[in-house]
């Protein structure tokens, strides 16, 4: 474990720097899961994620000489913003190496605090390798996002807050990527309240840490692909794995569909925006991944809220389709005046709102004299969609596509 004294020291350094984010009961999620759920809202943290805690604590412990050279870090976004904020606080130079796929909102967040951004590599691990090389060439102090005792101690401060904010609880769900957050949290929990179960939640598309935890030895992934970019780590850290093997009770995973549904649920029912990495614990609860916790009291740590708005728009659109609040129809018509108007009048009768329409008379799959009309509709659920389909079929419309 990380010594608890180090976490208390980190917590002291972070006073008046980080926000003491709220822990709130989640009634809808509790009802759906059969578990009494509380959400620790680190998505409301300054810079939008817990990473500020570890980054600030590490930079605060550097010597004056180390600070004078400046710092370099590799990150998909949240650690980057934490380092940039902290470097700006101490008035030192910061360079951040970010994967080329990093969302613009996170790049802009880093630049806002005055750090230089260099885009390199397709994932965190490639960016990290470049950052180490760049730092050595320019004599910059490398600030690792998770493989550092001071960083882990800083992340552990969130567990001290949780224990101070909420009475006895049975388990805590912690997102797992590189393992820095869960190493700090688990060290605190198992030192102060060892009866609490510490459960890591990873993305199915980034399986390295889960596989390593289950095998008891560091195993790297060949490919990482997940919408939870904050935990999209390819290679396992032997250091954080060792911490986890000594303090974490289990690690589970959720897939991208489950993560996306959790993001949408948190927006609609909890009125908060949480990025993919932060939503994995809620995804596990929504999709019954932890049946042994039924009837128990659980904290889910929402680690960050720096959501890429482009991805968010896709998640919302797909969510509306899956929940039957939107549908897309492709209908074949006779290509003559009045055909389209008749179709839209039928849709008006059944109360379907057209939000987009496209007309195609040139497709090679069409008979001469026919046209395909693709219509996007706002609907009121499954019953309403079935009513629309029946109405069109009863009026002899050929439906080629319905989703």
Q: Which of 11, 106, 303, 326 is catalytic?
A: 303
Is 101 an active-site residue?
no
User: To 5 degrees, how large is the angle CA 243–CA 244–CA 245?
Assistant: 95
Is 212 an active-site residue?
no
What tokens appear for 344 in the block?
Answer: 């839209």
Q: Which of 51, 58, 190, 289 is catalytic?
A: 51
Query: Is beta strand 36-41 parallel, antiparallel or unpaired with respect to 23-25?
Result: antiparallel
Instruction: Report CA torsion sign: 225, 230, 231, 237.
Output: positive
What tokens appear for 333 in the block?
Answer: 């018509």
Distance, in Å, from the CA atom of 225 to the CA atom of 235, rounded to the nearest integer, reads 13
Q: Which residues are designated catalytic? A: 51, 303
């Amino acid at each position: 474990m990380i010594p608890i004294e180090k976490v208390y020291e980190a917590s002291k350094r972070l006073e008046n720097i980080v926000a003491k984010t709220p822990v709130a009961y989640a009634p809808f999620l509790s009802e759906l899961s059969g578990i009494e759920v509380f959400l620790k809202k680190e998505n409301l943290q300054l810079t939008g994620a817990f990473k500020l805690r570890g980054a600030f604590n590490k930079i605060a412990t550097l010597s004056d000489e180390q600070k004078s050279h400046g710092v370099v870090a590799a990150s998909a976004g949240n650690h980057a913003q934490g380092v940039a904020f902290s470097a700006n606080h101490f008035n030192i130079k910061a360079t951040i190496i970010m994967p080329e796929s990093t969302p613009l909102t996170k790049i802009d967040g880093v630049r806002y605090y005055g750090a230089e951004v260099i885009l390199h590599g397709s994932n965190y691990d490639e960016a990290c390798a470049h950052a180490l090389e760049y730092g050595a060439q320019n004599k910059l102090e490398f600030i690792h996002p998770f493989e550092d005792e001071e960083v882990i101690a800083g992340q552990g401060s969130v567990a001290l807050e949780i224990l101070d904010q909420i009475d006895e609880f049975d388990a805590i769900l912690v997102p797992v990527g590189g393992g820095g957050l869960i190493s700090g949290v688990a060290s605190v929990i198992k030192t102060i309240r060892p009866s609490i179960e510490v459960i890591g939640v990873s993305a199915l598309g980034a399986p390295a840490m889960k596989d390593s935890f289950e095998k008891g030895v560091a195993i790297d992934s060949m490919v990482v692909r997940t919408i939870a970019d904050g935990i999209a780590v390819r290679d396992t850290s032997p250091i954080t794995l060792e911490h986890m093997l000594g303090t974490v009770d289990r690690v589970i995973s959720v897939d991208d569909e489950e993560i996306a549904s959790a993001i949408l649920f948190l927006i609609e029912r909890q009125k908060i925006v949480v990025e993919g990495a932060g939503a994995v614990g809620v995804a596990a609860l929504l999709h019954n991944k932890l049946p042994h916790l039924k009837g128990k009291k659980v904290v889910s740590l929402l680690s960050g809220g720096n959501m890429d708005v482009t991805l968010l728009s896709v998640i919302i659109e797909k969510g509306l389709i899956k929940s039957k609040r939107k549908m897309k129809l492709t209908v074949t018509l006779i290509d003559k005046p009045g055909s389209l108007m008749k179709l839209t009048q039928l849709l008006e009768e059944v109360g379907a709102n057209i939000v987009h329409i496209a007309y195609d008379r040139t497709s090679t799959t069409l008979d001469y004299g026919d046209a395909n009309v693709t219509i996007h509709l706002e609907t009121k659920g499954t019953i309403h969609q079935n009513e629309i389909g029946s109405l069109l079929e009863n009026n002899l419309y050929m439906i080629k596509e319905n989703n």
